[in-house]
């Protein structure tokens, strides 16, 4: 069965049986394809008798969301499995265990996290996650610092840059996030009700300059090994545990892109609160929780990143040159804010949307949520190079909410 082909549920069971130490010889296994993402097949394999289960994720040679007309490298499965293992080593407990990677089948066998929920779903249901800000800021600080020139031997870092070169998946980001939303591209997808907003995006020169600068950073700055797609659909969560999945877009890029992905998806859910049916007090409280989480993620990240720098910084000059760390952290905040904005805009007018807004049933509320997400996203992009503190992000979210609701 080793030559590449997309697996059936039955074949997935046969492979699971052949894996050492996972299931007993006579186990009666069931298999279900549960993939709900844009790109891959995901099989859930379970032995009811022992309650043991695993996940098998297989890359398809094309983008599932579009079809065979959009070919896509299978090498992304290698990148995903290698990055999951590295993230697990750098951040114990924050990534699923990888049991096997089969390069022929572009298949990764990993820990089943079905006792967690996908965070996007949890936020849509209005749940709160007490561990999240602490866990994700640890994940960001450790993965970004310890793979950068600040925390990793610089020759080894260059080997990693080579190992994780990921041109096809980067091209998706370059186009879908940093180009298509700012022109009348075929890939765009938006409700006719907000065509006026889309047309404003296409004509806004000030915005185009900022997005071009962010895109250039994404293209050229090999600062750290990024997850590359760290939205709330790539985070499994429960009250006492957080696990980051799906790093197939990983490559060496600007750190702010990963931090911005987390903040953007909290703010997209914030915008989606326009669709809440329950009373205003609940909605206000949940929005306050989301904004507080935005702040805690950045502050936790900053404190942990600085602590790693003090304790494990390996670069003599950047460790000791007075003022270097301050300049670096300010730039990182500004990049984070710019990428946050870009990642919000793409989810309203670009190809791939988010359920936080798309599933709002009331069309007026949905339109308000879309306009709010765009307003916050655009304001953050325009702010980025002038930003000084994370509080400005919170103020922008609050101001734009009043404007859209007025
Ligand atoms: N380790 C896992 N444990 C349980 N379910 C998983 C696991 N990995 C993926 N899934 C399920 O499969 C879905 C798609 O996985 P994901 O890695 O996001 O795929 P894609 O790369 O296609 O976006 C997830 O939303 C989740 O429901
Ligand atoms: C044509 S891929 C579109 C979009 O899908 C990816 O997300 P995911 O696979 O996690 O759903 C990524 O965000 C891409 O930009």
* The token pair that represents 197 in the structure block: 């907003």
Residue nearest to atom 5 of ligand 2 (CA): 38
Q: Which residue intervals of 146-204 are DSSP H helices?
A: 154-163, 167-176, 195-203
The reported pLDDT for the residue numbered 33 is 97
The predicted pLDDT at position 2 comes to 66
Burial of 313 (0-12, 13-18, 19+ CB in 10 A): middle
**Residue 96 φ/ψ, nearest 5 degrees:** -70, 150
Sequence-distant (≥ 6) Cβ neighbours of residue 376 within 8 angstroms: 267, 270, 271, 341, 344, 396, 397, 400
pLDDT, residue 65, reads 86
- Nearest alpha carbon, ligand 2 atom 10: 37
Which of 44, 57, 73 for a ligand 1 pocket mutation test, highest count of atoms within 8 Å of Cβ? 57
CA of 248 to the centre of ligand 2 (A): 10
CATH superfamily of the 117-405 domain: Aminoglycoside phosphotransferase (APH), C-terminal lobe (3.90.1200.10)
| 22-68 pLDDT, tens digit each | 898 889 999 999 998 889 999 999 999 999 999 999 999 999 988 99
Is the pLDDT confidence value at 279 over 80?
Answer: no
| Structure token digits, residue 366 | 């949905």
Is 38 close to ligand 1, i.e. is its CB under 6 Å away? yes
Spans of all domains in the chain: 9-111, 117-405
> What mean pLDDT is predicted for residues 95-120?
98
Give the chain's mean pLDDT: 96
Residue 1 pLDDT more than 70?
no
The C-alpha atoms of residue 10 and residue 18 are separated, in whole angstroms, by 13
Q: What pLDDT does residue 404 have?
A: 87
* Topology match between the domains 9-111 and 117-405: no
pLDDT at 277: 67
pLDDT at 187 over 90: yes
- pLDDT band at residue 225 under the 50/70/90 scheme: very high
> Diameter of the chain by CA atoms?
65
CA of 64, closest atom in ligand 1: 22
304 is in an annotated binding site: no
Rounded mean pLDDT, 327-347:
99
Cα(249) to centroid(ligand 2), Å: 9
Using 50, 70 and 90 to split pLDDT, how confident is the model at 257? Answer: very high
Q: What is the best residue among 71, 352, 353, 355 to mutate for testing ligand 2's pocket, by most ligand atoms within 8 Å of CB? A: 352
d(Cα 90, Cα 144) in Å, to the nearest integer? Answer: 10
pLDDT of residue 401: 95
Side-chain half-sphere CA neighbours of 284 within 13 A: 4
Whole-number Å distance between alpha carbons of 394 and 55: 38
The structure tokens listed for 163 are 């190992």
pLDDT at site 340:
99
Q: Whose CA is nearest to atom 12 of ligand 2?
A: 229
Q: Which residue has the higher pLDDT, 279 or 238?
A: 238
36 is in an annotated binding site: no
Which ligand does the CA of 96 lie closest to?
Answer: 1
- Do 331 and 384 form a contact (C-beta atoms < 8 A)? no
CA–CA distance, 253 with 223 (Å, rounded to integer): 5
Distance between CA 101 and CA 107 in Å, rounded? 6
Q: What is the interface pTM, i.e. ipTM, of the complex?
A: 0.98
Give the mean pLDDT of 301-311. 98
Query: Which ligand lies nearest to the CA atom of residue 178 in the structure?
Result: 2
What fold does the segment set 9-111 form as a domain? Phosphorylase Kinase; domain 1 (3.30.200)
């Amino acid at each position: 069965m080793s030559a590449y082909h997309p697996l059936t549920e039955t074949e997935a069971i046969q492979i699971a049986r052949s894996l050492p130490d996972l299931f007993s010889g006579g186990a009666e296994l069931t298999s279900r394809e549960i993939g709900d993402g844009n790109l891959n097949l995901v099989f859930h394999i379970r032995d009811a008798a022992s309650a043991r289960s695993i996940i098998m994720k297989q890359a398809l040679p094309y983008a599932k969301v579009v079809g065979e007309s959009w070919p896509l490298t299978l090498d992304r499965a290698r990148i995903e499995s290698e990055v999951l293992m590295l993230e697990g080593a750098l951040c114990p407990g924050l990534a699923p265990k990888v049991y096997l990677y089969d390069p022929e089948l572009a298949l990764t066998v990993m820990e089943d996290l079905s006792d967690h929920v996908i965070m996007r779903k949890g936020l849509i249901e209005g749940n709160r996650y007490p561990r999240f800000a602490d866990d994700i800021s640890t994940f960001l600080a450790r993965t970004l610092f310890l793979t950068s020139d600040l925390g990793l031997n610089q020759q080894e870092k260059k080997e990693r840059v080579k190992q994780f070169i990921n041109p096809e998946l980067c091209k998706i980001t370059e186009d879908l996030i940093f180009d298509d939303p700012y022109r009348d591209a075929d890939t765009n997808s938006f409700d006719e009700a907000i065509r006026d907003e889309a047309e404003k995006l296409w004509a806004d020169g000030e915005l185009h300059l900022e997005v071009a600068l962010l895109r250039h950073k994404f293209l050229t700055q090999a600062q750290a090994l990024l997850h590359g797609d760290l939205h709330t659909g790539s985070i499994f969560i429960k009250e006492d545990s957080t696990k980051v999945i799906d790093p197939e877009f990983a490559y060496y890029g600007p750190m702010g892109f990963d931090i911005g992905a987390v903040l953007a998806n909290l703010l997209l859910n914030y915008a989606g609160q326009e669709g809440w049916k329950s009373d205003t007090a609940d909605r206000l409280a949940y929005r306050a929780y989301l904004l507080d989480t935005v702040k805690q993620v950045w502050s936790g990240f900053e404190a942990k990143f600085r602590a790693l720098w003090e304790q494990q910084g390996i670069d003599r000059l950047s460790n000791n040159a007075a003022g270097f760390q301050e300049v670096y952290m300010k730039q990182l905040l500004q990049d984070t804010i710019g990428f946050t904005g870009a990642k919000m805009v793409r989810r309203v007018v670009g190809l791939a949307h988010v359920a936080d807004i798309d599933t709002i049933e009331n069309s007026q509320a949905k339109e308000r949520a879309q306009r709010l997400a765009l307003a916050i996203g655009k304001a953050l992009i325009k702010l980025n190079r002038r930003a000084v503190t994370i509080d400005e992000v919170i103020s922008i979210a609050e101001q734009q909410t009043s404007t859209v609701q007025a």
